[in-house]
Chains A and B, each alone.
Chain A
Amino acid sequence: MKLNRREFLALTGKTAAGAVIFAACGLPERELIVQSPVDLPEDLVRGEDAWYATSMGDFSNGDGVLVRVMQGRAKKIEGNPDHPVNRGKASARYDSVLQLLYHPDRISEPMVRYSKSGNLVAANWDQASTRFKEALSKADGALTIVTNPIRGHLGAVATNFAAQYNGKHMAFDPVEQGVLHGAVKSVLGQDQLPTFDISNAQTVLSFGADWLGTWGSPTQFGVKYGEFREQQDRGYLIHAEPRMSITAAAADLWLAPIPGTEGDLALGIASVIIENGMVSPQNVAAFEAAVPGGVSSYQLAEVASRTGISADRIEKAATHFAEHTPSVAFGGGSAGAHTNGSFNLGAIYALNVLVGAVDAKGGVTSNPGSAFDDVPASATGASFEAWEAELAEWRAGNVETVIIRGADIVHGMPNSVKIREALEHVPNVIAFGAIHDDTMDFADLVLPEQTFLEAWGTEIPEPGPGYQVVGTQQPVVGPTITRDESGLISDARGFGDTLLSMSDGSYGSSMERLVKDALSDLHDTGRGSVSASSSSLFINGTLQRGGWWDISTSGSSNVGKVNVKERNASYSDTGSLGTGDDFHLVPFHSNSLFDGRLAATPWAQQTPDPISSVSWSTWAEINSIQADELGINEGDVLRIRSTSGEIEALAYPHPGVRPGVIGIPMGQGHHKSGRYAEDRGSNVFSILADEKDSETGALAWAATRVRVQRAGRRVKVPKFEGNVVARPVEPGVPVLVVGISETAEEAQEANHHLYQKQFLGEGKESGSDE
């Protein structure tokens, strides 16, 4: 065979092309690999799921959960049916939390900033530990540990660590519960929050607290609410809040008082009850002893004018509350977030004295103290006043090292405290976390932290169920390998374990040891839900059940006095804020993002708000009629200005908000926090004025008045509502159309019904049978 040069070259090229094609079409090597690990833990068996009982860490108030783990990966979180707090029920937030564990922006390794003007650079744990030790070596007497209010042993570890360096442990909660704790202490004489026997109550009267959505222990209360409605007459729920939360939407009677007048409303209700002799004289005497000055200045007409609620509605609430017993009253949230917050909440909790609901069936149930001597049963954030003083120390250069965990203080503090400037004056800022948050921009050392699904701990639910409960938290997954098997998703360590490794060892060597020793101590008491012949069996039994509880324990109240130092609310000034219309700002917890701690997760972001159905953004709820008057339409970008600053939010006019009030959800407006939250929406915390509760110094976060102006732009509000025309799906079962200026009863009476036949016969024309 003879080949000329041209043919030879052509043949060579074609052969090479063929070889490439053949090679590319083969089976990739990785598809043939079956990896056999060295050890095979039970949760790595292929095809078999393992369920581990643990607690929800920072993401609930002590719910017990079961985590489904397949081949070492956590797949689903469900409620633990054995756990006395949530009794097997779950919340939408459980699913979101899993996304923190496998978040694509999870901090994978420690990062160090070598000079204040430099950048954070990746480091290993040895380098990070050296840097940590250097920071501690100069920190004696000048150390502050900042955390969220952590309960259980982790909180005790932080407190002990701070004490070892003569420093302090300050908890930060952007939505302070200090006023609530103070009111419970002064009126009911309890150090920890009580729970409420909603299941057995005939009437529930709540103020400001969105207890079915975000306040207190919503999963616990949700179970009880189900039982409350299963009673023969379904119970009667009265809820007072300036905007319609999910609790207000579930109420039989919703009262929308002028913000800050909840205490007046409570005493107005008491006044009606006393004047009409609806309760026993003994109860009246006990109530008057608890309320200095009594209710003489809370006559119905006067209260109606002060609170903006009609006299007949106040009377209706009072009659139900007093005559359909057992009844229970409680409050929190925005009702306590005023300059007179302590008075408001005190007056509300005192209503229980009037109807004999303290420590009674269907009333307030006191909680006992902690099962451990060294771990408190309650945790709350330091007051705003205390924070202002602390930040002044930071600015003055008196604090050498600040360790921050679980608290995004840059996001959570109002502009007025100049938190960024304060952080810049601290030589060593050490931040723990799973996702890079706004505070870490100011950190000199960033340490990747294990999530609650990877770490040991204990949990003392607050509010508990009325008896001692210790929830256990155990690692349900090990270190997780990245998808390309190049390394770990995160070389994270536990906050508690890191502190213990840096301490003198007097408090404990590791969180695991601490938890097991604590459980062993519980075994020695010989009481509670788990009985075993040895402490190791007891520890296993407790971990399997997700905790230990002793139903024979109980708490008791000692009725004291309502704090009446400041009865009238005052608000921030709007005089110097330029053009616009004045509104009262009522921030509220996002149902899915909470105060922003879940903003990094896409599931929480896309979970629609239960009332507005808005997701992925920050909206501003304005009364529909008022919006009409001001020419504000849905989606108008509003500039909302306070003495602390300005934010933008999308207008969402709807009937479920009191005229003059603007409701804005918390949780958005992060500059960091991962790809899903970064620069999304606005941060309502930033514009809160520095008003404080007169008694506790807590931030009066609902006492800000704002000036609102249209920015001249309009954006489509990302919401589900209104995307499909509401139409009756069953013949003969109409949809009731409630106009913005009428109640459901009025709409019913006026026969504002929409029947299916109208749709079928007349297309999409809406109207009534009239």
Chain B
Amino acid sequence: MLVPVLAIGGLGVVAVIGVVAAFVITGWIGQPVPVLGFEQTFDQPINFPHTVHASLKQLDRIAADGQTMEGLGLDCTFCHRTVTTQANAGVPPVGFCVACHQVIGAEDNVELAILRDTADIVGDDGPSPVNWKRVHRLPDHVRFVHEPHIRYLTANPSVVTNSTDGVTEGPSGVCSTCHGNVAAMQQVEQVESLKMGQCVDCHRDNGAPTDCAACHY
């Protein structure tokens, strides 16, 4: 179908179509519309399983010793420590991970081997940071501060729309409003649109400011 279009149009027409398509596709990558699902997810430098750490249920996977596994049920704030006080949720430093994983986890676990190498526990490359890829990304002209959102949702659990393995309250549950049930995700993906419409709707429903400068400053 494309070939006849290209055949009848000149290079200029194709270029215009290309530019328009580029805008649409770029816009979709940055701000996905729900038509095709969001599915913004990436292979990370270390295949970190949120399920093992945050789930409250029995897991699909089997431990090295053949036993069934249950999720640890850690609160989100256990690792994302600044989420209740600051703009950023905060990604934990590697040193924090190896506080447990220095001893916990099999020695031949491939992902943990990368982690331990990064933290300079094994290997001789020296310590190096982990470059995680951001899954939830708002445009540069939006300022989002986690702290007041967490505070409000904690005080008003009825507003929480999703759940973390059925929990809608407390330091695990409230995050699900925007991030979905991360505890059930083997690889984290974006489940809410996180577009301006969603922000404004929620602000309006909850009596939060809807003036432009609330987010664009």
Residues of A within 8 A of B (CB): 1, 3, 7, 10-11, 13-14, 17-18, 21-22, 24-27, 31-40, 45-48
In the assembled complex, B103 has its CB within 8 A of some CB on chain A: no
Q: State whether the Cβ of B3 lies closer than 8 Å to any Cβ in chain A.
A: yes
Q: Check A21/B137 contact, CB under 8 A, given A7-B7, A27-B29, A40-B95.
A: no
What is the chain A residue whose CB lies nearest that of B9?
A14
Contact of A35 among B88, B120, B130 (CB under 8 A): B130
A10-B6, A18-B18 known; A38 vs B90 contact (CB < 8 Å): no
Given contacts A13-B11, A34-B91, contact A46 B86 (CB under 8 A): yes
Nearest-neighbour CB distance to chain A for B198, whole angstroms, equals 20
Q: Which of A7, A17, A31, A45 contacts B90 (CB 8 A)?
A: A45
Report if A32-B134 is in contact (Cβ < 8 Å); known contacts: A13-B11, A47-B82.
yes
The one of A3, A21, A27, A34 that contacts B19, using a Cβ cutoff of 8 Å: A21
Residues of A within 8 A of B94 (CB): 36-39
Question: Which residue, A22, A27, A47, has most C-beta atoms of chain B within 10 A?
Answer: A47
| Interchain residue pairs with CB less than 8 A apart (15) | A3-B3, A10-B6, A10-B11, A18-B14, A25-B23, A33-B133, A34-B132, A34-B134, A35-B129, A36-B131, A38-B94, A38-B119, A38-B120, A38-B127, A48-B82
In the complex formed, the residue of A with least CB distance to B25 is A22
**Contact partner, A46, options B29, B82, B92, Cβ 8 Å:** B82
Distance in Å from the Cβ of A48 to the closest Cβ of chain B? 7
Q: With A36-B130, A38-B127, A40-B96 known to touch, is A47 a contact of B87 (CB < 8 Å)? A: yes
Pairwise interchain contact B11-A14, C-beta atoms closer than 8 A: yes
Contact bitstring B72-102, A, C-beta under 8 A = 1, else 0: 0000000000100011101111111000000
In the complex the two chains form, what is the Cα distance from A2 to B69 in whole Å?
A: 60
- Nearest CB of A to B123, in Å: 13
List of B residues within 8 angstroms of A46 by Cβ: 82, 86-88, 90
Instruction: Kindly state whether residue B42 has any CB partner on chain A within 8 Å.
Output: yes
CB distance from A21 to the nearest CB of B (A): 5
CA–CA, A45 to B81, complex, Å? 10
A22-B25, A46-B82, A46-B86 known; A36 and B93 CB under 8 Å?
A: yes
B66 to chain A minimum Cβ distance, whole angstroms, is 33
CA of A40 to CA of B92, assembled, Å: 8
B37 at the interface (CB under 8 A from A): no
Partner pick for A1 among B3, B25, B93, CB 8 A cutoff: B3
- Taken together as a complex, chains A and B put the C-alpha atoms of A607 and B156 apart, in Å, by 53
Instruction: Tell whether, in the assembled complex, residue B134 and residue A33 are in contact, meaning their CB atoms are under 8 Å apart.
Output: yes
Chain B 35-61 interface 0/1 with A at a Cβ cutoff of 8 Å (1 = within) = 000000010000000000000000000
Main secondary structure of the interface of A (DSSP, over half): mixed
Q: Which 7 A-B pairs have the closest CB atoms?
A: A40-B93, A38-B127, A47-B86, A25-B22, A18-B18, A25-B26, A36-B91
Apart from the given pairs A25-B26, A38-B94, 10 other A-B contacts in the complex at a CB distance below 8 Å: A10-B6, A14-B14, A17-B14, A21-B15, A24-B22, A32-B42, A38-B128, A46-B86, A46-B87, A46-B88
Residue among A3, A13, A24, A45 with the highest chain B CB neighbour number at 10 A: A45
> Bound complex: CA of A267 vs CA of B6, how far in Å?
100
- Give, as a whole number of angstroms, the nearest-CB distance from B171 to chain A: 19
A241 → B minimal CB distance (Å): 50
Complexed CA–CA distance, A34 and B15 (Å): 35
Please state if B93 and A48 are interface contacts (CB–CB under 8 Å).
no
**Using a Cβ–Cβ cut-off of 8 Å, how many residues does chain B contribute to the interface with A?**
39
Closest B residue to A18 using CB positions: B18
Q: Is B176 an interface residue (CB 8 A)?
A: no
Say yes or no: B93 contacts A39, CB within 8 Å.
yes
User: What CA separation (Å) do A39 and B86 show in the bound complex?
Assistant: 19
Residue numbers in B under 8 Å from A27 (CB-CB): 26, 29-30, 137
B124-149 near A? 1/0 per residue, CB < 8 Å? 00011111111001000000000000
Q: Is the CB of A31 within 8 A of B137?
A: yes
Question: B118: CB under 8 A from chain A?
Answer: yes
Residue of B nearest to A29 (CB): B133
Q: CB distance A48 to B132 under 8 Å?
A: no
Residue of A11, A39, A40 near B6 (CB, 8 A) is A11
A27 to B139, CA, bound (A): 11
CA of A34 to CA of B82, assembled, Å:
15
**Which A residue's beta carbon lies closest to that of B4?**
A1
A45 to chain B minimum Cβ distance, whole angstroms, is 6
Chain B residues within an 8 Å CB radius of A34: 91, 131-134
Q: 1/0 per position for B198-213, CB-CB distance to A under 8 A?
A: 0000000000000000
B30 neighbours in A (Cβ, 8 Å): 27
**Of B22, B23, B29, B93, the contact of A37 (CB 8 Å cutoff):** B93
Contact: B133 with A22, CB < 8 Å?
A: no
The CA-CA distance from A26 to B40 in the complex, in Å, is: 14
Contact among B18, B88, B120, B127 for A17, CB-based, below 8 A:
B18
Tell me the bound Cα distance from A32 to B43 in angstroms. Answer: 12
- When distances are taken between beta carbons in the complex, the residues of chain A under 8 Å from B130 are 35-36
Q: Is the CB of A32 within 8 A of B133?
A: yes
Evaluate contact between A33 and B22: CB separation under 8 angstroms. Answer: no
Q: Shortest beta-carbon distance, A490 to chain B, in Å?
A: 21
Say yes or no: A35 contacts B18, CB within 8 Å. no
Is B14 in contact with A26, judged by CB distance below 8 angstroms?
Answer: no
In the complex where A11-B3, A47-B87 touch, is A21 in contact with B132 (Cβ < 8 A)? no
A334 nearest CB across to chain B (Å): 52
Q: Output the least CB separation between B140 and chain A (Å).
A: 8
Report how far A13 CA is from B92 CA in the complex, Å: 48
Q: Are B95 and A38 in contact (CB under 8 A)?
A: yes
Q: Say how far B27's CB is from chain A's closest CB, in angstroms.
A: 9
Residues in A neighbouring B26, C-beta threshold 8 A: 25-27
Residue on B with the closest CB to A13? B11
B129 & A37 in contact (Cβ 8 Å cutoff) = yes
A46 CB → nearest B CB, Å: 5
- Cα–Cα, bound, A352→B85 (Å): 58
